[in-house]
Structure 1
Amino acid sequence: MIQRPNYVNFLKEWKDKQIIKVVSGVRRCGKSTLFDIYQDFLRSSGVLDDQIIAINFEEAENEPLLDYRALYDYVKSKMLPDRMNYIFLDEIQHVAEYQKAVDSLFVKKNADVYITGSNAYFMSGELATLLSGRYVELKMLPLSFAEYASAFDPGTGKEELYRNYVYNSSFPYTVELNSRRNIYAYLDGIYNTVVLNDIVARKKVQDTSMLKSVIKFMFDNIGNPLTMKKIADTMTSAGRKISYHTVENYLEGITDSLLMYRVGRYDVKGKEYLQLLDKYYLVDVGLRYYLLGTRNVDYGHMLENVVYLELLRRGFHVYVGKVGASEVDFAVQDFDGDLEYYQVAWSVRDRDTLARELKPLDSIPDHNPKCLLTMDNDPPASYNGIRQKYVLDWLLDVN
């Protein structure tokens, strides 16, 4: 079992606090396994098995509990009156009006409640309103490069690990699959479940073929600035006429399913957020290979996608940085509002390429940290305060 220390530590920090712990993340990113690891920790710290009430709503035997009242009555009947009860409700979006059961359990002094869901819908609307100020959310992703590397022999080369990481996928279960055929079949199941259950059903999509065409276009344009008009025009010119509003509906479904992330732009000099030319990144770049194969792969944008996800894991709010007419791949803010800047390039050993990549960072007028991440396995360098790092060491958090 691959350990997920950052996520486990989050749950440990909030243990026994009067607040609901919400774990969100795309399907099969490891939420159920996280609960298993955390429950093992609880037992090791003296919690009795009878104090742990765990229900996974994707298991058929729990179908009678898909009504919120039945769920509440069942959990209440299992709770010990004189001890803290640790209640884990996995994939709770399957329960009709589940927020009522969660709220009723939350108000009990001897209930420590943990829930998971596989899309952004379950934390929107009524639940967020009902539980406003009473929950903390842990946004979970598939394996980081460091977590992925931990599953293999320590002697495995970093670049070999990276190739496998992006090609074979970062979904945790793929490390146990011993052939590309099996990995493809597994990713096919994830992809189709997300498309049919989290997008088609939720957004009431009539033309599934058109939706899949838009998804392919988005997967093929990782890291490219896009507008809904551009997407609609491109699809129409390819003989698939689609309206702006339909594209908007599809993109909402794609991002709400947590299949892709929309990244807005931040004007570094004007200190303001911009509304145009968002970029989109995949939750797992292995899905790009699954859907489109190895044709026309932009390795720089794939690396950019990996860096984007790692910045999210490290707790940053991530934006595309606009610096006058130039662009920095990522302008990130920490919880104190402090800024850092990251430029990502496959290689900068060519002098002209290095100058081009450094120029946007160099034009930023403030003195916040600036970093150039590349696949060049060279000694760390500094250019007018801009640090160049080997990206695989950075991903492994090697100083």
Structure 2
Amino acid sequence: MISTNKLKKRNVYLNKLIQFQDTEPVKVVTGIRRCGKSSLLKLMAEHLRNSGIKDEQIIEMDFEKYEFGKMTGDSFYKYVKERILPDPNKRMYLFFDEIQRVPQWEDAVNSFRVELNCDIYITGSNAYLLSSEYATYLAGRYVEIKMLPLSFSEFIYFHDLRLEEITGVLGQKKKQFRDKNGVLYDLNEVFEAYLRFGGMPGISEVGLDQEKALVLLDGIYSTVVMRDILEKKVVSDPILLRKIIMFLADNIGSNISVSSIGNVLVNEGLLEDRRKKSAPSAHTVQTYVNALLESYIFYEAKRFDIKGKDFLRTLSKYYIVDIGLRNYLLGFRDRDSGHILENVVYFELIRRGYDVAIGKVDKSEVDFVATKADDKKYIQVTESMLEKTVCERELAPLQRINDNYEKIILSLNPGIESSYEGIKSLNVIDWLLNF
């Protein structure tokens, strides 16, 4: 598969920025490092230039670069003010990348917002960016665009693959991909590559080469752990942090009680306090888990009682933001394919704007309850619907739900039936592509 270094568009996110262009709220793009936030700001600046905005109206600062790396809130404020056009009728467009690295950046940004005729766009790789302190500064005058690694559709686009639909000898429709050199790839083959390498945009630059991909993923992981977690000094034990990361990565899609994580690590010989021979406290583990959530490497899905219409406080599930990172941590392996598929569906629902919870109905569980405005979907995810016992198991929780919202089972092998008493059975790859 051929890759290119040309800046590729992420239209889902770019269109959101364009939608809020020239409005009062500060546009805040959040997400794990290297998921494409910096490129998104460049794409937005390019959009402005193409629409007639002059270069002198645009200020771009990347605080990961050496020239801006030592800035304080005061020097940051001075640098921008010195470059503001004298004509107050000329709107300025301010782009600040990884701004959380500047001490007291909140004061400067709030001053720009109040004092200048400007439109502000910022990115950050840690949820502390939108801490209560910053929320107080802006008093709700910001809009957050949550960015994720590439979806399967974006993965195809980034690797310069073109989707084609052909008709087989028996009249059946079949999807395949063709690269720029005319080489054909099977649909399942490309999807397996996505599950193997993940969706970090940088993978498309190095190509689908396992050794190069691992080097890139190692760099991302190390930077997230060092800059967004350990440097913040929210947690202090890198060994405990690594063990909890490995545990959560190995248990994506499983019901987990934070209070039991430390005990499990000790019982399995993965962690031992040599002085006390005991597990870390639930409070300590929760602090480490919160740090991982704040750095966007893991996301938490809470459990929702469908009949009681209330969130439950126990046994959340955790999903890793990129399957490639999981493979880097645990090694490339074939087991857990069901949970991997579930992980992919979870983040696709997030991309599509849904709030996602785990559904509890009586003593059964629905993989996902996806809610957006007046739209709600109940979704089960499984590898195959070909076996009768699996089919019955996946259908049973959905059949217990009495409302009229859409109910879907997503799998790699949906079986012959496309619907069971109104419950749709869809191919998960088709579902991922049809958006």
Q: Deviation at 1:203?
A: 4.0
Q: Deviation at 1:378?
A: 5.6
Which residue matches 2:330?
Answer: 292
Which residue matches 2:122?
Answer: 115
User: Aligned partners of 2:204, 2:366: CA distance in 1, in Å?
Assistant: 33
More deviation, 293-302/313-322 = 293-302
Q: Deviation at 1:197?
A: 1.8
For the pair 1:353 / 2:390, whether they are aligned, the reply is yes
Query: Given that residues 337 and 383 in structure 2 are in contact (C-alpha distance below 8 angstroms), is that contact kept between their aligned partners in structure 1?
Result: yes
Q: Deviation at 1:379?
A: 6.5
User: Aligned partners of 1:69, 1:210: CA distance in 2, in Å?
Assistant: 37
Residues 196-234 of structure 1 show CA distances to partners (whole Å, capped at 9, x for unaligned) of 222222244333112111111110000000001221111
User: Aligned partners of 1:204, 1:372: CA distance in 2, in Å?
Assistant: 40
Secondary structure at the counterpart of residue 263 of structure 1: strand
Secondary structure at the counterpart of residue 27 of structure 2: strand
User: Aligned partners of 2:417, 2:227: CA distance in 1, in Å?
Assistant: 46
Question: Structure 1 136/305 Cα, relative in aligned 2: closer, same or farther at 3 Å?
Answer: same
User: Aligned partners of 2:288, 2:432: CA distance in 1, in Å?
Assistant: 32
Query: Given that residues 409 and 426 in structure 2 are in contact (C-alpha distance below 8 angstroms), is that contact kept between their aligned partners in structure 1?
Result: yes
Unaligned runs of 5+ in 2: 1-6, 163-176, 178-184, 272-278
Q: Which amino acid aligns with 2:112?
A: L
Secondary structure at the counterpart of residue 161 of structure 2: coil
Query: Given that residues 386 and 415 in structure 2 are in contact (C-alpha distance below 8 angstroms), is that contact kept between their aligned partners in structure 1?
Result: no
Q: Which amino acid aligns with 2:202?
A: Y
Percent identity at matched positions?
A: 43
User: Aligned partners of 1:2, 1:324: CA distance in 2, in Å?
Assistant: 46
Question: Structure 1 392/324 Cα, relative in aligned 2: closer, same or farther at 3 Å?
Answer: same
More deviation, 227-236/214-223 = 227-236
Which residue matches 1:13?
Answer: 19
Match for 1:254 among 288, 292, 295? 292
Question: What's the TM-score, normalizing by structure 2?
Answer: 0.88
Q: Deviation at 1:296?
A: 6.6
User: Aligned partners of 1:121, 1:277: CA distance in 2, in Å?
Assistant: 25
Residues 310-369 of structure 1 show CA distances to partners (whole Å, capped at 9, x for unaligned) of 0000001110011110110000110x2532111111111111111110111111111111
For the pair 1:214 / 2:214, whether they are aligned, the reply is no
For the pair 1:54 / 2:60, whether they are aligned, the reply is yes
- Within 5 Å, which residues of 2 pair with 1:237-316? 237-239=267-269, 240=271, 241-295=279-333, 297-316=335-354
Query: Given that residues 2 and 147 in structure 1 are in contact (C-alpha distance below 8 angstroms), is that contact kept between their aligned partners in structure 2?
Result: no
Question: Structure 1 320/203 Cα, relative in aligned 2: closer, same or farther at 3 Å?
Answer: farther
Secondary structure at the counterpart of residue 367 of structure 2: strand
Larger radius of gyration: 2
Alignment coverage as a number of residue pairs: 396
User: Aligned partners of 2:115, 2:155: CA distance in 1, in Å?
Assistant: 39
Query: Given that residues 269 and 365 in structure 1 are in contact (C-alpha distance below 8 angstroms), is that contact kept between their aligned partners in structure 2?
Result: no
Query: Given that residues 8 and 37 in structure 1 are in contact (C-alpha distance below 8 angstroms), is that contact kept between their aligned partners in structure 2?
Result: yes
Residues 141-179 of structure 1 show CA distances to partners (whole Å, capped at 9, x for unaligned) of 011110001123222332112111121121001112132
- Within 5 Å, which residues of 2 pair with 1:125-140? 125-140=132-147
Q: Which amino acid aligns with 2:79?
A: Y
Q: Deviation at 1:5?
A: 0.7
Query: Given that residues 24 and 139 in structure 1 are in contact (C-alpha distance below 8 angstroms), is that contact kept between their aligned partners in structure 2?
Result: yes
Query: Given that residues 3 and 147 in structure 1 are in contact (C-alpha distance below 8 angstroms), is that contact kept between their aligned partners in structure 2?
Result: no
Query: Given that residues 246 and 330 in structure 2 are in contact (C-alpha distance below 8 angstroms), is that contact kept between their aligned partners in structure 1?
Result: yes
User: Aligned partners of 2:233, 2:356: CA distance in 1, in Å?
Assistant: 27
Unaligned runs of 5+ in 1: none
User: Aligned partners of 2:9, 2:415: CA distance in 1, in Å?
Assistant: 30
Which residue matches 1:76?
Answer: 81
Question: What's the TM-score, normalizing by structure 1?
Answer: 0.96
Secondary structure at the counterpart of residue 266 of structure 1: strand
- Within 5 Å, which residues of 2 pair with 1:137-286? 137-151=144-158, 152-154=160-162, 155=177, 156-178=185-207, 179-239=209-269, 240=271, 241-286=279-324
Question: Structure 1 297/202 Cα, relative in aligned 2: closer, same or farther at 3 Å?
Answer: farther
Which residue matches 2:367?
Answer: 329
Which residue matches 1:4?
Answer: 10
For the pair 1:344 / 2:386, whether they are aligned, the reply is no
User: Aligned partners of 2:329, 2:156: CA distance in 1, in Å?
Assistant: 24
Secondary structure at the counterpart of residue 340 of structure 1: strand
Secondary structure at the counterpart of residue 231 of structure 2: helix
Residues 36-83 of structure 1 show CA distances to partners (whole Å, capped at 9, x for unaligned) of 11111111111111111100000001135x211211121122122231
